[in-house]
Chain A
Amino acid sequence: MSIEDRIRTLEEIEAVRRVLAAVGATCDAPYDGAAFAGHFTEDGVMDLMEMGVYTGRAAIQEFIDGMRARVPFTMHYWDGYAIDVDGAEATATWYGFETPNLNGTAHLGGLTHDATLKKIEGCWMVTRLGQQLHFMTPYDKGWVRQRVTDQTA
């Protein structure tokens, strides 16, 4: 691989990481559904497993905006990225933990995520975002006593 291509790969990894950081920030409270969905392709998919699968920007925006009413506070701590770039396509995995107020109770969430992205007109867009929920526990109970609180109730 030429030095040019090697530098290009490093630049693209940084660009993808930045897009994913922006995605995480837009789902911190107060949840900006339009900004969040704007990082997806028009036919993008968000697969939240037990919390549903949402296809297309409109459905993704509606889900995220709906979280605003249910979750008055949260922060998304995302890091530990592993990003692979192949031309105009990329894949990524990372870790996340979250601090939502669910039903008036402080919760800790432990998650892993994965995504596929495409570079369209110079911008990296998410084509699929996946989430694996390992625990979403009331802070005062911990993940052994109560593994998961339903976030959509």
Chain B
Amino acid sequence: MASLEDRVQLLEDIEAIRRLKIKYARLCDTGYDGTKLAALFTEDAVWDGGKEFGVQNGRGAIKAMFDDMSNDLTFALHYMIGHTIDVDPSGTSAKAHWYLWEPMTYQGRAILNAITYDDEHRKVDGEWLFSRMALTFHFLTPYEDGWVKTRMVTDG
């Protein structure tokens, strides 16, 4: 049986990782500040947006991507839902899974975006950061079409 101290630490770590994801969402929704967003990632982190949005390697590339994001993505609400967080017994790394429901304005069009995230985390100097964020796009559809008529607007 783990010590009381270790058990409390695990609960605190889960809560800290949950709050990190919410912080990420709020920064996205308030203008995609590349500097602040990149600071949530480790220096060697990977942001993997798949074939739709590409792969960014390292904090510098992640910052540059977010700094450009507002050019096309002028409005978004990131509803982060249904998390599962697994902290490694070492207490220094973790994995997380989330659902995202995201109404957004992309290139002037109302879009509904459905994503699941597979995140990896490392604890650096006592702070939980993203070391990898992988996005799976389930649909990215114009609002007026819906996800059966147009599953991925990027395919068009």
Contact = CB atoms under 8 A, between A and B. Distances in A.
Contact of A140 (B83, B114, B138, B146): B146
Contacts of A76: 82
Contacts of A99: 114, 139, 147
Interface residues of B, number: 22
B148 A77 contact: no
Given A105-B148, A106-B148, A106-B149, A77 B11 contact: no
Interface string B92-106: 000001010100000
Contacts of B83: 21
Interface residues of A, number: 25
A79 B82 contact: yes
Q: Is the interface of B mostly helix, strand, loop or mixed?
A: strand
Contacts of B11: 7, 10-11, 14
B82 A77 contact: yes
Given A3-B4, A101-B148, A18 B81 contact: no
B139 to A, nearest CB: 8
A79 B81 contact: yes
Contacts of A4: 4
B124 interface: no
22 contacts: A4-B4, A7-B7, A7-B8, A7-B11, A11-B7, A18-B84, A21-B82, A21-B83, A22-B84, A25-B97, A73-B147, A73-B148, A75-B99, A75-B114, A75-B116, A77-B79, A77-B82, A77-B99, A99-B139, A101-B147, A101-B148, A106-B148
Interface of B: 4, 7-8, 11, 14, 79, 81-84, 97, 99, 101, 114, 116, 138-139, 141, 146-149
Interface of A: 3-4, 7, 10-11, 14, 18, 21-22, 24-25, 73, 75-79, 97, 99, 101, 104-106, 139-140
